[in-house]
Amino acid sequence: MAKAVLMQGNEAAVEGALAAGMRFFAGYPITPSTEIAEKCALRLPQVGGKFIQMEDELSSMAAILGASAAGYKTMTATSGPGFSLMQENLGYGMMAEIPCVIVNVQRAGPSTGLPTSPSQGDYMQARWGTHGDHPVIAFSPSSVLETYTLIIRAFNLSEKYRTPVIFLMDEIVGHMREGVVLPDPNKLKINPRKTSFHDGAHKKCYYVPEGAFVPSMKPFGQGERYNVTGLVHDESGFPVNNSAIADKLISRLLSKIDDHVDDIVRVEEYQMEDADTAIVCFGGTARAAMDAIEAARAQGMRVGMFRPITVWPFPEKPLKARLPQLKRILMVEHNHGQMLLEVRRAVSGAVPVDFLGRIDGTVISPAEILANLNEKEAN
Amino acid sequence: MPSDLIHEYMRIDHLPQIWCAGCGNGVIMRDVAVAIDQLLKDEEYDFDRDDFVIVSGIGCSSRAAGYLDFNSIHTTHGRAIAFATGIKFANPKLKVIVLTGDGDCSAIGGNHLIHAARRNLGLTVICFNNHIYGMTGGQYSPTTPNGDVAATAPYGNVDRPFDIALLATGAGASFSARGDVFHARETTEIIRKAILHDGFSLVDVYSICPTSYGRQNHKGSAVDMLQWQKENLIPTAQFHAMSEQARAGKKEIGILAFNDYPEYTDEYAKVIEACRKQTGGKGRN
Amino acid sequence: MGNRYEMRLAGSGGQGVILASVILAEAAVDSGVTVIQSQSYGPEARGGVCRAELVLSRGTLWFPKVTRPDFLLALTQASLDKYGRELAEGAIVMVDDSLTVPEWLEGARLVPLPILGTARDAVGKLFTANVVAVGAINALLGLFDEKALLEGAMRRLPAGSEEINKSALAAGAALVSPELAAAFAQKIG
């Protein structure tokens, strides 16, 4: 067995990204994500990759889209204020179907907020931050090892679905160090960039044949001349002002995710077999929930954890499958109740959904969760 | 009948273009095509047409990317230079040409312009400078002259304008130039040199906008506006021969800054090389 | 919960308490002890109060933060005054011997040691105080064998500083008498 190494969550994001084939990073320093930029600056040239510190987050997002169009697997990393600045070009990436990964190590907001304090307040922004109807894939890791393996999946799905993927970390996981045994790099499944057109004859870069759900594009400079735009475009990539084509394009952008939810969604269920109470949580919050569940079980409560690893699309189906056995759901998150809205929507009143959250920059402790469970049990 | 140039370098099925009658943008687009054509045909150089990438932002200027038959990407407002930075830095063999406008590159995208100039990454930025926001209907831009009328300056523009070529020079551009629509031949030659330049190059090309700028400011027809360019924008040699007095109110057309600074991708290649030596020729992964 | 040994190292920003905690975490990983290290800091790169945290266990650890530390290192008066109030029952408090121990802390298991003075005078560089502290903590609590600690330190300390840091570790360990070590040794559960 390989030796365990001490690694920080932010470092694991970089090492996982490199294992996934990321060779271009553009970013702007911001707490608590800065270690990611620093590590990329150190590691990328060692493997022939490129690192650039841009003048702001708007240009960082633009640069990774440009580099991706030139054939690279690309990434940027930021936190709340920078994530806000990236939203317009994030939408461009979705519209133009340019793969890339955006890491957001969340901190307490709004605005500059509490720069060094943990939060999960960007959950809804990850879904709805950019304007218009658009698809979103977002993952949230809860350990250092999962940061490594999950970011590889983020890159893989980004290529498979040709869309930016949001990697929603939090300060809890980003800044903690654990001993990890990384998987054998030769055994990792890596989706390579597709480098030919589906429609070789007509060179229609956005042509999607029967049975496929995304176009397949050659990078710039490989012998084809095509157009990319953020405007509504036809299969040849040129802007059109045609409602039928607009409907077809936007519908495909949405359905390429909606039709493959089962492929995209992953959840962790812990002690759920006999549970009548489910704690729903994601990211670093799960760590307090795990300890609380252990303590609650020791007191005889039947509590389990339902943890969306894929946070967008929200894992509606697996949660609904658990409803018949549940008396109660407790949503625990470091915000004022954001995933709570999705849980309540999915549950539609079938089971009471309570909420435990924090917006003060401090971490929800296992004792706090346990107290909440005890209080309900007593009632 | 379209000329051979149009057949060769324009996407015929996407023409005619959307620009208004009398607009100068078509001339600038043609200058770019001619400059590239000259370079591709020049035996001294080994350019591959597929290595050219045209990047544009948003605005009247930026529609040019769709008409030119090269790799092309029409990006978001103000961010063309930032997208281009990613493309060029990822693949330095590409010849990346940014087609932008005065609002696109000096208002919303001004920060990217000065930082690209400072880095000296090998991009060529051609600014179609019509001194107005044309596509949205004539609002004042950072290059609209002080006192001029615009849709958002009905009582006259109180802003002081940017001179984009001087702005880029001040930001450390290794190549900064000014051209115009009237002096198409001279401007084509400036663009050709800008593309050849090993480093960041900017050409601020004065366009004419009879519809959104000229009409509000009583500048007359397109011909009148060209006449103004002929009389007030003076090619370098001529400009330098003029007395200080005669130069008043006139501007020089030509290369205003030309410096041999290290190019960014070359410098980063050295970083990669040094790193590889340090790690014994191979990194992990 | 349970089976957690919670440690907090506190000082002024720039004193290197985060690095000290990372060295201990390295040694833990090498020794097969489950560890989570984390830190919290204010906006200052230098000065202010800075703290780093470690949770150790022989089992699985989830919650990464320290709530009631079993061990506190305080290198400055401000950090002692701030964190001395949040301790587990029977917590061990290692302080630099230049600090004034507040009255309310007199009942704690106090271990005053000349950490800063040893770094400055015996090792010769005040900036090695964090490594002196690591040597002293490990000797006092008997956490890891010296080889694991030394290797952990060498992985994290800047190249070229090996010799001085080796002597800093040794000097820290030498501050703890065998009697003291016997009285304060911890068993990680």
pLDDT the model gives residue A288: 98
Q: List, for chain C, all residue ranges whose pLDDT scores fall below the cut of 70.
A: 1-2, 41-46
In chain B, the largest separation of any two C-alpha atoms, in whole Å, equals 69
Cα C34 to Cα A123, A364, B187, C30, C92, distances in angstroms: 31, 22, 69, 10, 21
Cβ contact B86–A226 (<8 Å)? no
* C189 inside domain: no
Are A363 and C35 in contact (CB < 8 Å)? no
Bond from prior residue into A110 cis (ω within 30 degrees of 0): yes
* C93 belongs to a structural domain: yes
pTM score? 0.96
Q: Which residues of C touch A287 (CB under 8 A)?
A: 62-64
What is the CATH classification number for the domain harbouring C64? 3.40.920.10
Residue A354 has pLDDT above 70, yes or no: yes
Instruction: Select from A178, A268, A281 the residue whose CB has the most chain C CBs within 10 Å, as the one to mutate to test that interface.
Output: A178
Q: Flag if B285 and A185 touch (Cβ within 8 Å).
A: yes
Domain of residue A280 covers 269-378
Q: Provide the chain A residues 174-233 that lie in CB contact (below 8 A) with chain B.
A: 185, 219-231
Instruction: Determine the residue among A18, A50, A64, A236 to mutate to test chain B binding: the one whose Cβ has the most chain B Cβ atoms within 10 Å.
Output: A50
- What's phi and psi for B14, nearest 5 deg? -105, 5
Is A248 a member of any domain?
no
A81 at C interface, C-beta within 8 A: no
Lookup result for tokens 């006192």:
B147
Summarised one tens digit per residue, pLDDT across range B186-217 is 999 999 999 999 999 999 999 999 999 999 99
Q: Is the pLDDT of residue B48 over 50?
A: yes
The boundaries of the domain holding residue C55 are 5-184
Mean pLDDT to the nearest integer, A295-324: 98
pLDDT in tens, B203-252: 999 999 999 999 999 999 999 999 999 999 999 999 999 999 999 999 99
d(CA A268, CA A253): 28
Q: Hey, of A1, A3, A6, A34, which one would you mutate to test binding to chain C, going by the most C CBs within 10 A of its CB?
A: A6
Of A115, A116, A363, the CB nearest to C65: A363
Q: Please indicate, yes or no, if residue A174 is contained in any of the structural domains.
A: yes
Distance CA A74, CA A69 (A): 10
Distance in Å, alpha carbon of A173 to nearest chain B alpha carbon: 23
CB distance B82–A54 less than 8 Å? yes
- Among chain A residues, the shortest Cα distance to B119 is held by A54
Q: Does A65 sit within 8 Å of B276, measured CB to CB? A: no
How far is residue C26 CA from its own chain's centroid? Answer: 13
- Looking at the DSSP bridge assignments, the partners of residue A330 are A279, A354
- List the CATH number of the domain containing A62: 3.40.50.970
CATH number of the domain enclosing A374: 3.40.50.920
A199 within domain boundaries: no
On whether both A37 and A145 belong to a single domain, the answer is: yes
Longest dimension (CA), chain C: 43
What average pLDDT is seen over chain B? 95
Q: Which residue of C has its CA nearest to A30?
A: C43
Residue A241 lies in a domain: no
Q: Which helix (H) or strand (E) holds C71?
A: strand C71-74
| C53 assigned to some structural domain | yes
**Which domains, ranges and CATH numbers included, belong to chain B?**
4-278 (3.40.50.970)
ipTM exceeding 0.90? Answer: yes
Q: DSSP letters of B63-101? A: GHHHHBSSEEEE--TT-HHHHHHHHHHH-TTSEEEEEEE
B141-168 average pLDDT score: 98
CB-CB neighbors (< 8 A) of A227 in chain B: 11, 65-66, 72-74
* C163 belongs to a structural domain: yes
Give me the total of CB pairs closer than 8 Å, taking one residue from chain A and one from chain C: 58
Mode of pairing for the β-strands spanning A22-27 and A73-78: parallel
Q: Which runs of consecutive H residues, i.e. helices, occur in C84-158?
A: 115-117, 129-141, 146-156
Instruction: Write the pLDDT tens digit of every residue in B88-147.
Output: 999 999 999 999 999 999 999 999 999 999 999 999 999 999 999 999 999 999 999 999
Number of structural domains, chain A?
2
Question: Residue B285: what pLDDT?
Answer: 44
Please work out, in degrees rounded to the nearest 5, the angle formed at the alpha carbon of residue A281 by the alpha carbons of A278 and A282: 145
Neighbours of chain C (3+ CB pairs under 8 A): A
Closest CA to A257 of A158, A131, A339, A338: A158
pLDDT-above-90 percentage for chain B? 94
C65-81 pLDDT, tens digit each? 999 999 999 999 999 99
Report whether A274 contacts A302 (CB < 8 A). yes
Looking at residue A274, its pLDDT comes to: 98
Q: Is A50 on the interface with C (CB under 8 A)?
A: no
Contact criterion met (CB below 8 Å) for C33 and C49: no
Which pLDDT does position C4 carry in this prediction?
94
Rounded distance between C-alpha atoms, residue B257 and residue B129, angstroms: 19
Residue A280 lies in a domain: yes
- Confidence category of residue A223, pLDDT binned at 50, 70, 90: confident
**Total domain count, chain C:** 1
- Is A294 in CB contact (< 8 Å) with chain B? no
Query: What are the φ and ψ backbone dihedral angles of B54, each rounded to 5 degrees?
Result: -100, 125
Closest chain A residue to C32, measured at CA: A4
pLDDT of B284 strictly over 50: no
Specify the pLDDT at position A311.
98
Do A82 and A174 belong together in one domain?
yes
Query: In A82-191, which ranges are E strands?
Result: 100-106, 137-139, 164-170, 177-180
What is the distance between the alpha carbons of residues C75 and C17, in angstroms, rounded to a whole number? 9
Within a domain: residue A159?
A: yes
* Bond preceding residue A324 cis, omega within 30 of 0: no
Is residue C114 in some structural domain?
yes
Query: How large a percentage of chain A has pLDDT more than 70?
Result: 98
**Does residue A255 lie in a domain region?**
no
Across chain A, mean pLDDT equals: 95
Q: What is the pLDDT of residue A16?
A: 98
Continuous H helices in chain B: 4-9, 25-41, 64-67, 80-90, 102-103, 110-119, 164-170, 184-196, 222-232, 236-241, 244-247, 264-278
- Taking the C-alpha atoms of residue B204 and residue B196, their distance in angstroms, rounded to an integer, is 17
pLDDT at A218: 83
If asked whether residues A177 and A320 sit together in one domain, one would say no
Asked if A159 and A54 sit in the same domain, the reply is yes
CB contact under 8 A, A58 and B82: yes
Return the pLDDT at A1.
Answer: 60
- The pLDDT value recorded for residue A222 is 84
| Cα A224 to Cα A199, A213, A219, B53, distances in angstroms | 12, 22, 9, 11
